[in-house]
Amino acid sequence: MKYIKQFTIIIAISLLGEILNRIIPLPIPASIYGMTILFVLLCSGVLKLSAVKETGKFLIYSMPIMFIPPTVGLIESWTTMQEFLLALIVISLVSTIMVLAVAGHITQFIINNNKKKTGK
């Protein structure tokens, strides 16, 4: 019963993200809205981590299964992708480096900000 309640909370937040995606005219995926809402609720204490922890662990544990359909789709469209292979590789490398750099800078900012707050 605990898992059903936790899964219902996660689905409700995902539904709210879908609704926001329809209402707000920005090119942001609904899943990003949902994850942001969940993050804010957890950080603010409105939603306790224990309310979604076990189901979240299960979803993370089963995440590799979710990559099977897209992988099969990529394999099936290999002949179409071959002519754009260099562009796809460059885009993948550049976007990966950008994500790593931004995540690193944000992490450093948060660590430095926490040090200033605690006085260390």
Percent of the chain with pLDDT over 70: 99
Tokens of 77: 């469209």
Q: Are 5 and 57 in contact (CB under 8 A)?
A: no
- Over residues 26-38, the pLDDT tens digits come to 999 999 999 999 9
Confidence of residue 120 (pLDDT cuts 50, 70, 90): low
| Distances, alpha carbon 29 to alpha carbons 4, 35, 79, 90, 92, in Å | 25, 10, 28, 23, 19
pTM of the predicted structure, to 2 decimals: 0.63
**Which positions ≥6 away from 120 have C-beta within 8 Å?**
none
